[in-house]
Structure 1
């Protein structure tokens, strides 16, 4: 996918990632540390994480097309593209956490000690993955904004 209604697809799709990835990250952290939130939101979070994971490579491919179609790229554009290539790993990590939280939700009726340990581990992983995903989105977006509007060449 290179264009949507005549506009570069990357410029449109990137906004979905910029909203969805941090939203999924924050919801996973919330679900990790607040069981009532997990009971209410777990399936929504799983769906949003899946959409994010599907949209990430589509967005990066559209960005690669845009980069190649624009002539000689400036160094900041190359930095943006390089950072963007890492987003798939964070999207997959968000999906894995969402799946783990869904499994915990299904097993919630059981009161065995290993499940309690798993709940704590998943909550900590959700925090680490969530924060690192948000930081990554900000870093990618900053390089993209610098490439479009900034003074860095």
Structure 2
């Protein structure tokens, strides 16, 4: 999918990434810090993370098509290079969202009987929360950097800075 109603698909798909990655990062962090939140979010947490993960390669593929159809520009190349780095962050969000969801859905009594490490075990929760926070911050910062470089590539020399 490269064009939607005559518009480059990248221009439309980028909005999905810009909304879902930070939203997933926020939900993951909240769920990792507070298991009650993870239980309330339920399957929605890994579900949204999965859609966010899928949206990244779709958007980058459409962006690479667009790059081939615009003038050669170092700002566009920089934006493309940065965009290629988002997939590992999105994958990390999905994997951690699945872990948080899976751990939160098990009741403490059920986990204790089966011999599986309880989700309420403090060291496990601290590690998962720290990893979730680190990946969430990394993903959001990367989305910001990619978006900023894309805006610079799209808008440099495209308007009158003097307002006249």
Q: Residues 104 and 119 of structure 1 are in contact (CA less than 8 Å); yes or no, is this contact kept in structure 2? A: no
3-state SS in 2 of match to 1:71: coil
Instruction: Give the Cα separation in 2 of the matches to 1:42 and 1:14.
Output: 26
Distance 2:134 2:33 in 1: 13
Q: Find the structure with the greater CA-based Rg.
A: 2
Q: Counterpart of 1:97 in 2: which secondary structure?
A: helix
Partner SS, residue 108 of structure 2: coil
**C-alpha RMSD of matched pairs (Å):** 1.6
- Give the whole-Å Cα distance in 2 for the aligned partners of 1:122 and 1:42: 17
So what's the TM-score if we normalise by structure 1?
0.92
SS at structure 1 position matched to 2:42: helix
Q: TM-score normalised to the size of structure 2? A: 0.86
Runs of 5+ consecutive residues of structure 1 not aligned to the other structure: none
Pairwise CA distance, 1:106: 2.8
Long gaps (5+) in structure 2: 158-164
Q: Distance in 2 between matches of 1:20 and 1:90?
A: 12
Distance 1:41 1:123 in 2: 16
> What is the CA deviation profile of residues 57-103 of structure 1, one whole-angstrom value per residue up to 9, with x for unaligned ones?
0100000000001132x111111000000111111000011111122
- List per-residue Cα deviations over 1:8-34 (Å, max 9, x = no partner): 000000000000000000110011111
2:137 maps to which residue?
A: 131
1:114-141 residue CA offsets vs partner (Å, 9 max, x unmatched): 4313222111111000011000000000
Q: Distance in 1 between matches of 2:101 and 2:107?
A: 10
Q: Following the alignment from structure 2 to structure 1, what is the Cα–Cα distance between the partners of residues 42 and 78? A: 35
Alignment of 1:31-70 (within 5 A): 31-70=31-70
Higher helix share: 1
Residue in 2 that maps onto 1:105: 104
